[in-house]
């Protein structure tokens, strides 16, 4: 009986020892509780956790990619859109992530959804479509500030899709077409203005030089005369016969 007892005790000790050994990877940390009270954060590598007396909670320190579900957002100009995003965050303080909040992943997800609706609701639709970088930075800053107490660092926020109703898509297409038409008219008007200014300058120069005006007149006649199918009737410039009249 003594031999069996020793074998039993030895086997129990070996099993207890094996149960006490924990291996934490490089990106893992173990939050250790001693009789229910926080003791310390251990890892990575081989650590010993005394069964019953101590408990360990594993925490992953790698960047977590969290998909924010599509949210119904009403913009400041009263346009209803559906927006979804993706959030990149990681745990930088395992103690806070376990003690300060229950299920930090769920808490961060809920906070991201409410922050997305709140921030985008303060902007117009055009800003959502054209200024995503600034909106991403605003959402990230708010999330990072709120989750700092949980030991979480929000690295980046990216708005993925802004879905519009069919009627709104048609309205935006019409608006874009009208904008292109407006720009074309403005460019045409600017071209006409520049051409008028150039013509006015040319006319002023020709007015100061009568000989140049006559040369221009003759050049125009030469160009028109190349078309042999046309009959030309033109007045004789008074400047050409004025010397004869004086005699």
67-81 tens-digit pLDDT = 999 998 888 888 888
Residue 29: exposure state from Cβ atoms within 10 A (0-12, 13-18, ≥19): buried
Q: What is the mean pLDDT of residues 83-109?
A: 94
Domain count, the chain: 2
pLDDT top residue among 85 and 178: 85
Q: Which domain holds residue 44?
A: 17-60
Residue 91 covered by a domain: yes
Taking CA atoms, 22 is separated from 31, 57, 138, in Å, by 12, 11, 41
Residue 76 covered by a domain: yes
CATH at residue 111:
3.30.479.30
pLDDT top residue among 144 and 221: 144
Q: What is the mean pLDDT of residues 128-147?
A: 92
d(C-alpha 171, C-alpha 88), whole Å: 34
Q: Looking at 108, 134, 163, which one is the last position of a domain?
A: 163
Give pLDDT, residue 97: 95
Tell whether 144 and 119 lie within a shared domain: yes
Does the pLDDT value for residue 206 go beyond 80? no
Does the pLDDT value for residue 1 go beyond 60? no
Lowest-confidence segment of 15-29, 77-91, 92-106, 200-214 by average pLDDT: 200-214
């Amino acid at each position: 009986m003594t031999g069996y007892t020793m074998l039993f005790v030895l086997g129990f000790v070996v099993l207890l020892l094996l149960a006490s050994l924990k291996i934490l990877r490089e990106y893992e940390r173990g939050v250790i509780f001693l009789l229910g009270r926080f003791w310390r954060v251990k890892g990575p590598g081989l650590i010993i956790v005394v069964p019953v007396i101590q408990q360990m909670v594993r925490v992953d320190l790698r960047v977590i990619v969290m998909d924010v579900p599509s949210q119904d957002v009403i913009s400041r100009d009263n346009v209803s859109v559906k927006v979804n995003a993706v959030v990149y965050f990681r745990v930088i303080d395992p103690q806070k992530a376990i003690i300060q909040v229950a299920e930090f992943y769920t808490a961060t997800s809920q906070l991201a959804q409410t922050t997305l609706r709140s921030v985008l609701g303060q902007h117009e639709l055009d800003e959502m479509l054209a200024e995503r970088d600034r909106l991403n930075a605003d959402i990230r800053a708010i999330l990072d500030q709120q989750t700092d107490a949980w030991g979480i660092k929000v690295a980046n926020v990216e708005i993925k899709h802004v879905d519009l109703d069919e009627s709104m898509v048609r309205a935006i297409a019409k608006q874009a077409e009208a904008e292109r038409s407006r720009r074309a008219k403005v460019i045409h008007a600017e071209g006409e203005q520049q051409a008028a200014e150039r013509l006015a300058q040319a006319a002023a120069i020709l007015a100061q030089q009568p000989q140049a005006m006559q040369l221009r007149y003759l050049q125009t006649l030469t160009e028109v005369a190349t078309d042999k199918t046309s009959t030309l009737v033109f007045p004789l410039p008074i400047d050409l016969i004025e010397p004869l009249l004086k005699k």
